[in-house]
């Protein structure tokens, strides 16, 4: 019986090792997916910026900022935050800023659909995975840490 237990334990460990090896590409996939969604939105805003400003004047209700300032800041955030996130650079502070941006985007649009809320919730949880787990081995944060601050 102990031989069977050892065999099961070896297979169990092989499974754990496989999951450990898949962690880096999984975290990269999370970062790239979320970045893609927001950069795509930013490109839409840049394509017709006068319409973007009009949206911020009439649809989006961003507190504390004028519609023009909100349009500029929101559009800039849709390029800067995803780029940092995708690269895995300053990942945890970026995840915090990105989460706040995501929440403001969701809350400031009064006519958001149930599907839109679900999408923003999914993206928010993906950002929180990076916040709590870190960006993974395939990130600039890990490269910088390993090169300049080895353990």
**Residue 82 vs residue 1, higher pLDDT:** 82
18 part of a folded domain: no
83 part of a folded domain: yes
Range of the domain at 104: 23-148
129 Cβ contact list (under 8 Å, min separation 6):
27, 30
100 part of a folded domain: yes
50 part of a folded domain: yes
Amino acid 117: pLDDT: 95
Provide the 3-class DSSP secondary structure of residue 91: helix
Token readout for 20 is 């450990």
pLDDT of 99 above 90: yes
pLDDT of 104 above 80: yes
Domain count for the chain:
1
Number of H helices, E strands in the chain: 6, 0
How far is 99 from 34, CA to CA, in rounded Å?
11
16 part of a folded domain: no
Q: What is the pTM of this model?
A: 0.89
53 part of a folded domain: yes
Amino acid 47: pLDDT: 97
């Amino acid at each position: 019986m102990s031989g069977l237990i050892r065999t099961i334990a070896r297979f169990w460990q092989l499974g754990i090792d496989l999951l450990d090896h898949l962690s880096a590409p999984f975290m990269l996939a999370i970062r790239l997916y979320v970045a893609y969604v927001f950069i795509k939105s930013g490109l839409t805003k840049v394509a017709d910026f006068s319409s973007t400003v009009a949206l911020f004047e009439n649809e989006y209700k961003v507190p504390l900022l004028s519609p023009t300032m909100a349009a500029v800041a929101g559009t800039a955030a849709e390029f800067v935050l995803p780029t940092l996130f995708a690269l895995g650079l300053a990942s945890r502070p970026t995840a915090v800023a990105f989460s706040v941006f995501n929440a403001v985007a969701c809350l400031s649009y009064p006519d958001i659909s149930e599907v839109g809320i679900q999408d923003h919730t999914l993206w928010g949880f993906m950002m929180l995975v990076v916040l709590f787990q870190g960006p993974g081995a395939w990130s600039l944060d890990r490269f910088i840490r390993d090169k300049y601050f080895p353990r």
